[in-house]
Amino acid sequence: MLEIRSIRHCRSCGNKVRYEVPPDDNRERAVCSACRTIHYENPLNVVGTLPVWGEQVLLCKRNIEPRHGMWTLPAGFMEQGETTAEGALRETIEEAGAHVEMQGLYTLLNVTRVSQVHMYYRARLLDTDFAPGPETIEARLFREHEIPWEQLAFRTVRATLQFFFEDRQTGQFTLHCADIA
């Protein structure tokens, strides 16, 4: 299990925290030594889309770390006050400048090593006028045989693409849940 002890000071009063099991709890949390505020750390959601244009899918070449120069589906951390679908759409606009019609939730992938849940929605591209944002070097369409499998940035991108090309043979695109080791 992931063990990151990244909190050293209390977000509320600034004093030092200590990792200890609070009363009525069963795991260690960062607890402020002064004001006793408990600081919880929880998994993050990454939300994105699998944009489809006929036989082709849209990938973005990353202009940021990690995995600079590698290819990804448009995705990023979900923000406060938005839904998973709204976040996925926002990332698609921010990273690819792509115009899409959102479709159903397609993959929900647990990445416990980094305590993340990745969710990808299928999306129908409305045109091919992409306008990549600063986080993207290039946004382009790929046919299945053109996918740069060895240059994909994340295993959840690989898994989502694999599920897609499998499902396309039957035309049945149901939700896939999987755990990425």
Q: Which is nearer to its own copies, 145 or 177 (CB)?
A: 177
CA distance 164 to 166: 5
**Chain residues in the site for its own copies (CB under 8 A):** 1-4, 6-16, 24, 26-27, 39-45, 77-85, 94, 104-105, 108, 110, 112, 115, 117, 134, 174-175, 177, 179
Q: How far is the CB of 9 from its own copies (least distance, A)?
A: 4
Q: How far is the CB of 60 from its own copies (least distance, A)?
A: 16
The dihedrals phi and psi of 127, each to the nearest 5 degrees, come to -160, 180
CA distance 147 to 126: 21
CA angle 87, 78, 114 (to 5 degrees): 140
Q: How far is the CB of 89 from its own copies (least distance, A)?
A: 13
Q: Give the pair of three-digit tokens for residue 153.
A: 């940035």
Q: Which is nearer to its own copies, 9 or 99 (CB)?
A: 9
Q: Which is nearer to its own copies, 55 or 131 (CB)?
A: 131
Q: Which is nearer to its own copies, 112 or 151 (CB)?
A: 112
| Bridging pattern class, strands 17-20 and 29-32 | antiparallel
Contact at 8 Å (CB) between 120 and 75? Answer: yes
Q: Which is nearer to its own copies, 82 or 166 (CB)?
A: 82
Q: How far is the CB of 158 from its own copies (least distance, A)?
A: 18
CA dihedral 167, 171, 172, 173 (to 10 degrees): 60
CA distance 91 to 78: 9
Q: How far is the CB of 69 from its own copies (least distance, A)?
A: 17
